[in-house]
């Protein structure tokens, strides 16, 4: 029996986008603004396809290599919470959009690719691009570009300021405080 063909990165992005948008349209609790349902959706559908370690290492920069394994683990945990909440917050603004994946310019053997998409709805299309890498467990997203701004670079600037002022533990504390603040805001 032949193995199922591996999903291409652009097909994966389209499938995940369609699944999220369909759930946003049909789930009554999400339509009513239940942020915890949106967080659960992001955690279930999107997050298994994200390489947090690579994303975090790139966002922290050179200080990542000096961090202890425990610090790296805490950073990844807090960063994941931040990413899930950020993505979930953006999804609360989604109404009747569709995602169009642009034709990919990559060779089948490429291990690192760019998938360009446009979110089409009311007004001008929004450019949303994904950097993906091929891993033994399939394609994983490790960076996101929203309207010309790469997410990892944005975090790298913020994180560098915190690391320079207070070190890795200071960054962990700042991320944890930000996550607690975001959680409190979501409950009010």
DSSP calls for 120-188 = ESSSS-EEEEEEEEEETTEEEEEEEEETTEEHHHHHHHHHHHHHHHHHHHHHHHHHHHHHHHHHHHHH-
Q: Residue 121 has what pLDDT?
A: 84
Which sequence spans correspond to the domains of the chain?
Answer: 9-187
pTM of the model: 0.85
**SS3 of residue 68 by DSSP:** coil
Can you tell me the distance from the alpha carbon of 181 to that of 108, in angstroms, rounded to the nearest whole number?
44
Segments of the chain with pLDDT less than 50: 1-4
Mean pLDDT of the chain: 89
pLDDT of residue 156: 95
Q: 15 Cβ partners below 8 Å, 6+ apart? A: 7
Say if domain 9-187 classifies as CATH 3.30.70.20.
no
């Amino acid at each position: 029996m032949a193995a199922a063909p591996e999903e291409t990165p652009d097909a994966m992005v389209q499938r995940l986008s369609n699944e999220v948008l369909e759930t946003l349209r049909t789930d009554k609790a999400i339509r009513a603004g239940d942020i915890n349902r949106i967080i659960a959706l992001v955690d279930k559908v999107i997050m298994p396809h994200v390489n947090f370690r690579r994303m975090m290492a790139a966002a922290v920069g050179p200080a990542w290599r000096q961090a202890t394994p425990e610090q790296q683990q805490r950073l990844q945990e807090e960063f994941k919470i931040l990413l899930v909440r950020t993505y979930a917050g953006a999804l609360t603004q989604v109404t009747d959009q569709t995602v169009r994946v642009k034709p990919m310019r990559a060779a089948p053997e490429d291990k690192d690719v760019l998938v360009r998409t446009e979110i089409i709805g009311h007004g001008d299309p929004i450019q949303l691009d994904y950097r993906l890498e091929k891993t033994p467990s399939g394609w994983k997203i490790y960076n996101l570009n929203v309207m010309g701004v790469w997410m990892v670079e944005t975090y790298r600037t913020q994180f560098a300021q915190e690391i320079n002022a207070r070190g890795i533990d200071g960054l962990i504390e700042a991320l944890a405080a930000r996550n607690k603040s975001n959680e409190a805001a979501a409950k009010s």
